[in-house]
Amino acid sequence: MNPNLHGSAWSGFYKKTLKERQNQLKITFPDLFDPPSPATSIAPSVSPVSSVYSTPLTSICSSPISREYSEENKSNDTLNGINNEQFNYLIKKLESLNIDQDPFPIKGLDEHIADKMIENCVGTIGLPVGLALNFIINEKPIIIPMAVEEPSVIAAVSGAAKTISSYKGFTAVAPERNSIIAQVVLLDIPQNSLNLAVNKFCANMVKRGGGVFDMSVRRISRTNNRNKKHHPISSENFREWLVVHLHIDVCDAMGANCASTVAEGVAPHLSELTGGRIGLRILSNLNVERMTRASFRIPLSLLSYKSYTGKEVAARIIEAYEWAEIDHYRAITHNKGIMNGIDSVALAAGQDWRAIEASAHAWACDGVRGDYSQSNNYRPLTTYWIEKDDQLADCRKEGDDCLMFCGELELPITVGTAGGVINTNPVYLYNMGIMGNPNAKELSMIMVCIGLAQNFAALRALATEGIQRGHMKLHATNIAFAALRCYEDETNSSRPSHDIMSVARRMIEKGSITLTTAKELIEESLPKSQISQCTHM
Ligand code: MEV
């Protein structure tokens, strides 16, 4: 398929109004957003798990506009994809759209469902959901929803993806099996022989083709622990502990519940076999068997950015990466930027982002990676390098023209597309639908690609013009909006006639983007009575 075609449907998306974007989404994903309306049921009419990973472009082909085009032009192209002419027709139609029917369904969790999900529930919290554009992953175009409160994250990642997809896009791989580890610790061990049948504790998983497929044992000496403050209250404690890992194939589930059920179920048998006392029984959130890797390669010549040549951009990104390699103060910020992308998709797709965060940061430590040569450093999760491309060299290209800039992100990431909370919040299902209903392996690849793109975007901006210019515009808009809301709330009347954008622009011009400045600017033209009412800023 032609990636440029995919891109052009969404070009200028950021300039559209919220309503126009929602309309475009309805047209692009008719099966997801058309009736039967999810307003009457909890979930949209899509299955969260599909064996067919249908890309958004396929959805455009089957959209009403594409069908209309085919009928008018007696073409059956929608069966095989769409051509340029058809695509232009689609774009024109999108531009002239004025659909204003039902309220758009992406608007958060119903509080009655929330009340069933957690204890002491008092309400819900909303977060903006936006679309990351321009991604081509393993040759397929994909639109990726992200839930995030931070300005610039989505613009940055879409910009990075545009550069990377201008060549061949991202390549991603994930392991065939989606596994998780259940840990049982046996204390006070007199012996260590083990042999057991554990699959009866995850019979459903076995029916779906998964189940416990391996077991490993780690002996841990209690003397290695770092609890030096503790005054022992019993002298009888044995000094050796046995940690049993049960490796479970959890199919498309995240697997936390399954792992904990297996651990609790099997613990008495392990205790009987080993003679050890049962300690904690719980999953491990470090799951190195679910290692997912995303990478890209792009000729240096395609990397030019703002006033910088491709070679300059490449050299500066590598410097930035190398700084993170040798300074853990920088590495943590570098990795935070990666998690901006990964967490936003995790939030949009109903994943356990705390588990994903914990495992990513653990993986950043040499000790966990099994590399002690760097005295247990905390390292950046991405890697960048420049390499010579033999094919380009064979084509008689010389010097920098043979060079490729390469980026890679590899980390263990545990996600699920079956079970969990995905079915309780319809927005998760819509977001999964926008991504083409990926299975767990595909979702992990999408998330690692977005982490890599987010980091590439941050390093490219930081190493060239800095991030504040772009960031400040959005930040100023947010501050202006917050300031104007203050007046609106207090007076309970409609927003003052000030344009949010003009307050934002004037704050940027003044070089002071604060609520106080926004308030001063607004009050310059407000009647006195209204000014005195806004006191809580
Ligand atoms: C901000 O949320 C993320 C960055 O600080 C990441 C980085 O410094 O690499 C821009």
Residues 6+ apart with CB under 8 A from 375: 366
Residue 53 and residue 436: Cα distance in Å, rounded?
A: 6
Q: How far is the CA of 315 from the centre of ligand 1 (A)?
A: 19
Mean pLDDT of the chain: 81
pLDDT (tens digit per residue) in 511-525: 888 999 998 888 887
Task: Write the DSSP symbol of residue 214.
Answer: E
Q: 60-64, 222-226, 286-290, 297-301: which has the minimum mean pLDDT?
A: 60-64
Residue 334 is a catalytic residue? no
87 pLDDT band (50/70/90 cuts)?
Answer: low
Given a cut of 70, is residue 1 above it in pLDDT? no
Q: Which atom of ligand 1 is nearest to the CA of 459?
A: 9
| Residue 32 and residue 106 in contact, taking contact as beta carbons nearer than 8 Å | no
In this predicted structure, which of 251-255, 303-307, 476-480, 533-537 has the lowest mean pLDDT? 533-537
Say if ligand 1 is within 6 A of residue 467 CB.
Answer: yes
Q: What is the 8-class DSSP label of residue 378?
A: B
Q: Which of 352, 389, 490, 520 is catalytic?
A: 352
Label residue 479 by pLDDT band (50, 70, 90).
confident
Is the CB–ligand 1 distance for residue 114 below 6 Å? no
| 8 A C-beta contact, residue 55 and residue 141 | yes
Q: Does the Cβ of 491 fall within 6 Å of ligand 1?
A: no
Query: Is the pLDDT at 437 greater than 90, yes or no?
Result: yes
Catalytic residue from among 269, 328, 361, 471: 471
To the nearest 10 degrees (0 to 180), the angle between helices 153-165 and 328-348 is 90
How many residues make up the chain in this entry?
A: 537
The reply to whether 31 belongs to the active site is: no
Question: Is the pLDDT assigned to residue 61 strictly greater than 80?
Answer: no
pTM recorded for the entire structure: 0.79
Q: Are 381 and 411 in contact (CB under 8 A)?
A: yes
Q: Is 341 in the pocket of ligand 1 (CB under 6 A)?
A: no
Ligand 1 and 91: CB distance under 6 A: no
* C-beta 397 within 6 A of ligand 1: no
Statement: residue 497 has pLDDT above 50: no
User: Which one is catalytic: 162, 336, 361, 397?
Assistant: 336
- CA-CA distance, 48 to 422, in Å (whole number)? 8
Q: Label residue 70 by pLDDT band (50, 70, 90).
A: low
- Give the per-residue pLDDT at 153: 93
List Cβ neighbours of 320 (8 Å cut-off, separation of 6 or more): 334, 459, 462, 463
Contact 28, 59 (CB under 8 A): yes
Q: What angle do CA 380, 384, 390 make, to 5 degrees?
A: 155
pLDDT, tens digit (0-9, with 9 covering 90-100), for 360-384: 999 999 878 876 665 668 999 999 9
Strand order in the sheet with 211-221: 211-221, 240-249, 179-187, 277-284
Reduce the DSSP state of residue 171 to 3 states and report it: strand
pLDDT (0 to 100) of residue 102: 60
529 C-alpha to ligand 1 centroid (Å): 43
Asked if the model's pLDDT at residue 217 lies above 80, the reply is yes
Q: Which of 328, 336, 384 to mutate to test the pocket of ligand 1 (most atoms within 8 A of CB)?
A: 336
Question: Catalytic site residue 336?
Answer: yes
Whether 337 lines ligand 1, by a CB cut-off of 6 Å, is yes
| Confidence check: pLDDT of 321 > 60 | yes
Buried b (16+ CB within 10 A) or exposed e, 325-337: eeebebbeebbeb
Among 122-131, 233-242, 397-406, the range of highest mean pLDDT: 122-131
Please indicate whether residue 364 or residue 90 has the higher confidence score (pLDDT). Answer: 364
* Mean pLDDT in residue range 498-510: 84
Q: What is the band of 51 on the pLDDT scale with cuts at 50, 70, 90?
A: very low
pLDDT, residue 91, reads 60
pLDDT at 374: 58
Give 142's pLDDT tier (boundaries 50, 70, 90): very high
The whole-angstrom separation of Cα 344 and Cα 154 is 9
* pLDDT of 532 higher than 60: no
Report pLDDT for 80.
Answer: 39
- Does the pLDDT value for residue 234 go beyond 80? no
Q: Whose CA is nearest to atom 10 of ligand 1?
A: 458
